[in-house]
Structure 1
Amino acid sequence: MKNENNTLKIALVQSILHWENPNANRAMFSDKIEQIEEDIDVIVLPEMFTTGFTMSPQNIASEEGSLTLSWMKEIATLKDCAIIGSIVYNEKETYFNRLFFVKPDGETYTYDKRHTFTLAGEHKKYQSGKQRLVVAYKGFNFCPLICYDLRFPVWSRNTENIDILLYSANWPAPRINAWNALLKARAIENMVFCIGVNRIGEDNEGHEYPGHTSIYSPLGNEMALSKKEEILIVEITKNEIEKLRNKLTFLEDRDQFNLLD
């Protein structure tokens, strides 16, 4: 039986991506996910997992967003688990880097990337999101965010009893040390499990992605890290968070604030 004793088993899918080719990527991820033999509770995919980090969203057919969402619902039903990842999404000629959190029953939540990556011109192509998302699932509160959001601790701050911070990313090799350090920092300062799922390989713009998909404990201990194309299976328990927060009451001393747009 899954989720005994408030335990979650999570599959982190670190993969190459086929450039601006949703059909090929959906087929590839279907094959990878089909090979997961264990009962799992959550599957996490990289940022823009059907296209790669493209700054030409007009190259992606408008119907691809709904096709991928339907595919995610099929996977969630088939594997009886939640599935999470971001894609290029077209809504009335406005483009979003939109993350979907799909539960096994098809219930769907969305998050639009708040911090669009200005260095690549993402802010010129994609509409920035305004609302953070927290999803309750199997006794855990998830806060799924996207790549560049990782650099902004205020947006990631644990103000809503979050248990899991999760970053779906395309984080390049030259700044991978920052990725490692920031994931660890977000875990420690928020007393959460912090998960980062990155892609691997080179994209059509010549950017290299080294993986480093990983998970850190609420004390900042590295629980898993991968530098190759693979699916990491990690297990976490709610009891660990509760024991730590009862013993180390750091969150009670956090600064109170409201975000103003």
Structure 2
Amino acid sequence: MPSTLNTALIQTDLYWEDPVSNRKMFEEKIAGIPADVDLIVLPEMFTTGFTMKPENIQLSEGEGTVKWMKQIAQQQNKALVGSIVFQENGKFFNRLFFISPEGRTQVYDKKHTFTLAGEDEVYEAGHEKLIFQYKGFKICPMICYDLRFPVWARNTEDYDVLIYVANWPKKRINAWDTLLKARAIENMSYCIGVNRTGKDGLDFEYPGHSAVYDVLGETLAFSEDEKILYATLDKEHIESTRKKLRFLEDRDRFNLIG
């Protein structure tokens, strides 16, 4: 069983509501990622930007992007994770896909839709937390606004890695920095946050600040620039720290209702 997980975080500007151009851009960036990387993390709505006009996106683009993710994962022998605009049964979702190199697919629909932008009026909220296994690591992926709700991320499953993909604006970036580190410390897990850069079609600015924190909140990677960040996650670090500092064993016991 592997004891490390090599990750790559793609922090970049996005073409507004243009899946074709974004897929091409990401494909070019992914082609230059080293062979030993196991998992590539893409931003929230990585083919469109954070649009509240999903009707501007062709219905076929969701399935088209999933097909593209599977092709890239197989060709590069790396797993991909990121969220896109996805339409199903006449409803829109901010849906995250995890695709393994073998084509195994896991999905997570954003639980906390961003009411400040009216996301709750456009996209259906998810109700199920996702934990998946990859190369010996238990991984919990979430999306942007979910970061503000610690109970939803509470580590009752003893997961190893918490991932947030986001379009988090510059004006509230201090909250992003603070909460990512807090989620790592309180859950005694690695915490990965991938944000975008640039300006979107509504003129909102995004400053990057993608980061990786270890189970004690120490910074393994951080950048404000448009670039690919790399970090190696170590299973032994998780296990030895939790064994020495048994904080998770003292967590409060309660169940979520509704």
Quickly name the TM-score band, shorter chain normalised: over 0.9
Say whether 1:89 aligns with 2:103: no
Of 39, 60, 75, which aligns to 2:72? 75
Of 132, 141, 144, which aligns to 1:144? 141
Unaligned runs of 5+ in 2: none
Say whether 1:17 aligns with 2:14: yes
Aligned partner letter, 1:79: Q
SS at the partner of 1:69?
A: helix
Residue 257 of structure 1 deviates from its aligned partner by 1.5
Unaligned runs of 5+ in 1: none
Aligned partner letter, 1:162: Y
Residue 138 of structure 1 deviates from its aligned partner by 0.6
SS at the partner of 2:20?
A: helix
SS at the partner of 1:225?
A: strand
Say whether 1:199 aligns with 2:196: yes
Cα distance in 2 for residues equivalent to 1:167 and 1:75: 21
Cα distance in 2 for residues equivalent to 1:132 and 1:192: 16
Aligned partner letter, 1:81: K
Q: Which residue of 2 aligns with 1:182?
A: 179
Cα distance in 2 for residues equivalent to 1:89 and 1:236: 30
Of 131, 135, 139, which aligns to 2:132? 135
Say whether 1:153 aligns with 2:141: no
Aligned partner letter, 2:179: L
Residue 149 of structure 1 deviates from its aligned partner by 0.1
Identity over aligned residues, as a percent?
58
Q: Which residue of 1 aligns with 2:210?
A: 213
SS at the partner of 2:59?
A: coil
SS at the partner of 2:74?
A: helix
Residue 64 of structure 1 deviates from its aligned partner by 0.5
Cα distance in 2 for residues equivalent to 1:78 and 1:154: 38
Aligned partner letter, 1:106: G
Aligned partner letter, 2:252: D
Aligned-residue RMSD, C-alpha: 0.8
Of 88, 96, 101, which aligns to 2:98? 101
Residue 37 of structure 1 deviates from its aligned partner by 2.8
SS at the partner of 1:84?
A: strand
Cα distance in 1 for residues equivalent to 2:175 and 2:34: 33
Of 151, 155, 162, which aligns to 2:159? 162
SS at the partner of 1:260?
A: coil
Aligned partner letter, 2:202: E
Aligned partner letter, 1:254: R
Cα distance in 1 for residues equivalent to 2:220 and 2:16: 31
Cα distance in 1 for residues equivalent to 2:34 and 2:244: 37
Of 55, 60, 64, which aligns to 2:61? 64
Say whether 1:246 aligns with 2:246: no
Cα distance in 1 for residues equivalent to 2:127 and 2:37: 31
Cα distance in 2 for residues equivalent to 1:213 and 1:205: 22
Say whether 1:124 aligns with 2:111: no
SS at the partner of 2:36?
A: coil
Of 41, 44, 48, which aligns to 1:44? 41
SS at the partner of 1:25?
A: helix
TM-score by length of 2: 0.99
Deviation digits for residues 185-235 of structure 1 (CA, Å, limit 9, x no counterpart): 000000000000000000010100000000111001111101111111111
Deviation digits for residues 39-59 of structure 1 (CA, Å, limit 9, x no counterpart): 210000000000000000011
Q: Which residue of 1 aligns with 2:169?
A: 172
Contact 2:35/2:76 (<8 A) preserved: no
